[in-house]
Amino acid sequence: MKLMKIVATLMVTLMLAALPALTLAEDAYGSAAVTAGQTYTLEQMLTLAIQDEYMAQAEYAAILNSYGTDNAFANIIKAEGTHIALLKTLFETYGFTLPADTAADKAVLPASLVEAYTVGVAAENANIAMYEAFLAQSDLPDDVRGAFVALQNASRSHLTAFTRNADKDGLGLRNGRSDDQDGRNSQNGNGNGNGNGGADGDSDTAARKGARAGNDTCPLYDATAGTCAGCDTQRSGRGRNAK
């Protein structure tokens, strides 16, 4: 009888000791919960992916609200909404329950715009690594694999924009042009810095026109990229990272 009590006590102790680890696992969100080499179910992958896109959208929204819209985050947040929409279609296709967007409660505002670019670099690197882990699984359906590849490519474009701005101390836009455009935002090279050369306000519309002129079936529209991340079609519009 005493032995049974001792065993029961040990079991309870072990369970209590494991609770912090379980809580950490449950609290992990998006790419923070992904471990390279681990196998995930399709529903788990889609859930983690959309959580990470939720988080990016929430963080970038907080940055824009605090530091204004004259910076690289203005266009990239539009792309995050498109990423979320793409993942939502996969939830519908496979009949999975769409997770609630609680990212705003978890987002932390960087201390400055300069720091925000560094945070953006880290977030996009983590996002890229997450999709890399998912793409390593051999059992992905073709439509899911295609979406993950497109989303990963889009994150690489965002990473380029954030890295460039971080290297320039987060100066963002100057005279209606983003620092990372460097005169390459106009197809004919005549951007004049007053908004006509591809300021944030019109690049979204221009890139959409470019997408229609290229591949109408493109699964992923991204206003921040000169080349479509979904189909590799060169935009005729003026995406932020056009070269």
Q: What is the per-residue pLDDT for 10?
A: 44
Dist CA 92 CA 117 (whole Å)? 34
How many C-beta atoms lie closer than 10 Å to residue 3's C-beta?
7
Dist CA 120 CA 184 (whole Å)? 23
List, for residues 143-197, the tens digit of each pLDDT value: 999 999 999 999 999 999 999 998 886 444 333 333 433 333 333 334 443 333 3
Superfamily, domain 38-213: Ferritin, core subunit, four-helix bundle (1.20.1260.10)
Nearest to 177 by CA among 186, 169, 168: 186
Nearest to 150 by CA among 38, 231, 242: 231
Instruction: Give me the residue spans of the domains in the chain.
Output: 38-213
pTM attached to this predicted model: 0.64
Q: What is the per-residue pLDDT for 28?
A: 82
Q: What is the per-residue pLDDT for 61?
A: 96
Q: What is the per-residue pLDDT for 167?
A: 86
List, for residues 60-73, the tens digit of each pLDDT value: 999 999 999 888 99
Which residue ranges in the chain fall short of pLDDT 50?
5-25, 170-217, 224-227, 229-243
Q: What is the per-residue pLDDT for 173?
A: 38
